[in-house]
Amino acid sequence: MTTQIAQTTKTAKTLLMLGDSLIEWGDWESLLPDIPVINRGIAGEHTEDLSARLVNEIDAVLDAGTEPQYILLMTGTNNLLMGSPYFPVILGSMLPRLIDLCPSSSITLNSLMPMQIRGLALESITAANNELRGVAKQSGCRFLDMTDPFTEQCLPVTKPCFLNDGVHLATRGYQVWAGAIRTHLDAL
């Protein structure tokens, strides 16, 4: 999927999305048609990789002529899947840098999705999300928890939100996520 950079002006309400394949593979133009989205997701990326490219990504967006009104980060899935649960600490140091780079942007840290993967206990995801919530609060950012929306709107057989790998989102999963993002942004 190609990365789309929306043509915006300084007054447009732009959403910058940073993260891994869950961001990259979303068809955000269709999912959030009235919100210009700058998609900066990279498949397979770990949180430390996002931290390393953060300044360059923000510089590129700012050089395009706009500071995004909203920034959403969704990262840590690949860390957790590879047995590295310490990514919230990295986010704890990354969020203050992001706030300094984009002081006028409303920054939201997205929870991990409630994946159901053999060998990965749901408690691991819950514990990571609790840490992420704390990191967001400590940094003064917002937190978007996707547990309830997925629990309420996804059914494994009739309305699956995940592809067969249990990690990547099916069309329904992206629709649920986009709906939660829209509700979250509307409340800001």
Does CATH place domain 15-187 in 3.40.190.10? Answer: no
Task: Give the number of other Cβ atoms within 10 Å of residue 151's Cβ.
Answer: 10
pLDDT > 70: what percent of the chain? 94
Which helix (H) or strand (E) segment holds residue 188: the answer is none
**Average pLDDT estimate for 94-119:** 93
Q: Please give the residue that has the higher pLDDT: either 4 or 164.
A: 164
In the prediction, which pLDDT does 9 show?
36
Listed range (2-6, 37-41, 93-97, 124-128) with the worst mean pLDDT: 2-6
- Banded pLDDT at 156 (limits 50, 70, 90): confident
Phi/psi at 155 (5° precision): -130, 135
| Predicted pLDDT of residue 177 | 98
- Vertex 69, ends 100 and 3: CA angle to 5°? 95
Confidence check: pLDDT of 3 > 70 = no
Residue owning tokens 């309830």? 148
54-79 confidence digits (pLDDT tens): 999 899 888 888 789 999 999 999 99
Spell out the domain ranges in the chain.
15-187
- Its pTM surpasses 0.75: yes
Q: What is the DSSP secondary-structure string of 51-104? A: HHHHHHHHHHHHHTT---SEEEEE--HHHHHTT-TTHHHHHHHHHHHHHHH-TT
pLDDT recorded at residue 5: 39
State the pLDDT at residue 157.
79
Query: 173 vs 66, which has greater pLDDT?
Result: 173
